[in-house]
Amino acid sequence: MVTQKGYTSKKVNLKIVVKGINYDAKIKQINVKIKAIKNQIKPLNQQVQAMEPVFNALENDDPTSSDYQTALQQANGNAEDYENQYNNLRTQLKTDSSALGPLYDQRQTYIYKSMQQLLKRQN
């Protein structure tokens, strides 16, 4: 009811509709992004893992060891290029996967908010 001196009071009914945010949909969107990034970095990760034993053997820098000689053959005789390629792939993998952390955090926040929203509805 609203009143003001000199005026007739008037009753006004308001209906307030509180719409909840659909956190489940937001979580699904984030999951799609996470899956896309994981699919993107999977081949990079596999390539790094395949190169790692050779890289480690080349890092040994003992040209008399059989592991070093085998690794050098796999590196086509150029240890420095192989090491650079390996390090570049690791850097790319790190860069490409850096978006996952914030997405995981955001998803966790939405899960928490979704649970809060559910509990409010139950009360």
Q: Which residue has the higher pLDDT, 2 or 117?
A: 117
Cα separation, 30 vs 103, in Å, equals: 7
- 1 has a pLDDT exceeding 60: no
* Structure tokens, 32: 């799609």
Taking residue 107's Cβ as centre, other Cβ atoms within 10 Å add up to: 19
The alpha carbon torsion through 37, 43, 72, 60 (nearest 10 deg) reads: 40
Percent of the chain at pLDDT above 90?
48
Mean pLDDT within 111-122: 87
21 neighbors 121 (Cβ within 8 angstroms): no
44 is written with which tokens? 């990079």
CA distance 81 to 63: 16
DSSP code for 19:
P
- CA pair distance 42, 33, nearest whole angstrom: 14
Please, are residues 23 and 113 in contact by the beta-carbon 8 Å criterion? yes
User: What is the predicted pLDDT for the residue at 108?
Assistant: 97
Q: What is the pLDDT of residues 7-43, one digit of tens each?
A: 777 777 877 766 678 899 999 999 999 999 999 999 9
